[in-house]
Amino acid sequence: MAAPVAEMALALMLTLIRRLPDYAAEMRAGVVRTNEYVSCGETVRGRKVGLIGFGRIGRAFARLVEPLGLELLVTDPCCTAETVAAHRGKLLGLDELLSSCSVVVLAAGLTPETRNLLDKRRLGLMPDGAYLINVARGGLVDMDALLSELRAGRIKAALDVTDPLEPLPPDHELRQIPNALLTPHIAAGGIEMRRAIGAVAVEEVVRFCKGEQLENVVTRDMLAMMT
Q: Which pLDDT belongs to residue 4?
A: 93
Q: Which pLDDT belongs to residue 37?
A: 60
3-state secondary structure of 27: helix
Cα distance from N-terminal residue to C-terminal residue, the chain:
10
Question: How many whole angstroms separate alpha carbon 90 and alpha carbon 86?
Answer: 9
Strand partners, 104: 50, 132
Which of 42, 185, 204, 207 is the catalytic position? 185
Question: How many whole angstroms separate alpha carbon 224 and alpha carbon 221?
Answer: 5
Q: Which pLDDT belongs to residue 35?
A: 63
Is residue 166 part of the annotated active site? The answer reads: yes
Is residue 137 part of the annotated active site? The answer reads: yes
Taking Cα atoms as reference points, which of 57, 26, 56, 54 lies closest to residue 40? 26
Is residue 113 part of the annotated active site? The answer reads: no
Question: How many whole angstroms separate alpha carbon 107 and alpha carbon 97?
Answer: 14
Task: Encode the chain (227 residues) as per-residue pLDDT tens digits.
Answer: 799 999 999 999 999 999 999 889 989 999 887 665 666 668 999 999 999 999 999 999 999 999 999 999 999 999 999 999 999 999 999 999 999 999 999 999 999 999 999 999 999 999 999 999 999 999 999 999 999 999 999 999 999 999 999 999 999 999 999 999 999 999 987 777 677 778 888 888 989 899 999 888 877 776 666 66
CATH 3.40.50.720 assigned to domain 2-182? The reply is yes
Q: Which pLDDT belongs to residue 182?
A: 98
Which of 166, 172, 204, 207 is the catalytic position? 166
Residue type, 14: L
Q: Which pLDDT belongs to residue 224?
A: 60
Which of 59, 87, 122, 137 is the catalytic position? 137
Q: Which pLDDT belongs to residue 41?
A: 67
What pTM was estimated for this model as a whole? 0.88
